[in-house]
Amino acid sequence: MTDTPLSARDLDRLRHIAEASERALRYTSEGRASLDDERTYDAVLRCLTVIGEALAAVSDEAYRRLPSVPPGLPKAQRNLIVHEYWRIKPEVIWATVQQQLPSLIHDVKTALNE
């Protein structure tokens, strides 16, 4: 824990991350087959893009408060979605949503409550 308060900008970005993460989990709550629906798939990709962009925009201090996030990985995934969309694998998107987002939400909510 740290005594340094986060900036208003960081707090906004962290809220955006939590909201997008929760939406992606909600959109896929019916299971892996949820991503077979093109609207759901596109919506989840949009959520992951927002998460990657917001994580790239937070300060180093805010990023340090998110121990479950590997440095650079969200931005790399965001860049893949945006710039190399043909390489996206639905199974990787599913794994990201199910395995990474719950920990991210926990870390973000902890940081917001500090």
**How many Cα neighbours within 13 Å face the side chain of 96?**
25
Distance of CA 32 to the CA centre of its chain: 18
Q: Is residue 42, in this structure, part of any structural domain at all?
A: yes
Res 114: pLDDT? 85
Question: What mean pLDDT comes out for the span 15-32?
Answer: 98
Question: Range of 81's domain?
Answer: 8-113
Query: How many domains, the chain?
Result: 1
Q: What is the pTM of this model?
A: 0.92
State the CB neighbour count (10 A cutoff) for residue 38: 8
Q: Is residue 3, in this structure, part of any structural domain at all?
A: no
pLDDT of 111 strictly over 90: yes
What is the C-alpha separation between 63 and 3, in angstroms, rounded?
15
pLDDT digits (tens, 9 = 90+) for 89-106: 999 999 999 999 999 999
Q: For residue 43, what is the enclosing H or E element?
A: helix 38-57
Q: Is residue 60, in this structure, part of any structural domain at all?
A: yes
